[in-house]
Amino acid sequence: MASPSDHKANIIDGKAIAQTIRNEIAAEVHQLSQKHGKVPGLAVVIVGNRKDSQSYVNMKRKACAEVGIKSFDIDLPEQVSEAELIAKVDELNANPDVHGILVQLPLPKHINEEKVLTEISIEKDVDGFHPLNIGKLAMKGRDPLFLPCTPKGCLELLSRSGITVKGKKAVVVGRSNIVGLPVSLLLLKADATVTIVHSHSQDPEKIIREADIIIAAAGQAMMVKGSWIKPGAAVIDVGTNAIDDPSKKSGYRLVGDVHFQEACKVAGWVTPVPGGVGPMTVAMLLKNTLDGAKRVIEH
């Protein structure tokens, strides 16, 4: 028998899986356009010029073009008033060619995020962050119109890798509104036994070590060590943290919330950073936009 040191986890190739999904979406968009003469439309709203937000937004806009979704680009200055932003959202709500509206978070401090998100029509809430969509996600037997993209991407990675969720112990590390909380609700809907570990949890290592499925979304570079992982567990790493690396031209490299090299020696499956969850988030956004458009165009 091979010694444990020879163990190598299955690397889940998020980039390849996302590309497969994008191809599926492109085919459906083409069909819609042939049959109904209409294509899905996604409005991407960005306020200010945060570097990371701009790069996310550019990725989303590029992905739209690749699958044939029409992208409506709304770039607003950092100083825009809350009222102006809300007026813009209302205008997009009323535009029949726009099937999805995404407001890139975080918003500048002077704008009330909840107020803006609540303003988005629930039928166009492709990010799945409208309080009504999150509320439905939290309740048994209710179905939100849209699931948040990153959590939906995490579950899609598990299912397309043949990993069963039902009856399994899942531990979610982090409780943000964007990932931790909604992914725990999704896992619960999929019949997992769910535990959430956060900054006030005692002995997180002990809790994480019991998990069959780990979703790491704490925003702490390489926090989850190999010794914290149960042999054979599935590890989905949502973190993207820049750490100094003088050997790189940019001066930094991206790492996840999981110590990847260590995890590979113990886990059954692990997602890399980059190239794991990131591409899936964008693919799910495109899928949500397509679904929103199909609801309108096919009925």
Residue numbers annotated as active site: 60, 104, 127
In one letter, which amino acid is 182?
P
Strands 241-244 and 252-255: antiparallel
Q: How far apart are CA 172 and CA 180, in angstroms?
A: 6
Long-range contacts of 201-204 (CB under 8 A, 24+ apart): 204/173
Chain mean position to CA 129: 12
In one letter, which amino acid is 159?
S
Tokens 């959430």 correspond to: 196
- Tell me the three state secondary structure of residue 5: helix
Q: How far apart are CA 299 and CA 296, in angstroms?
A: 6
> Exposed, middle or buried: residue 202 (CB in 10 Å: 0-12, 13-18, 19+)?
exposed
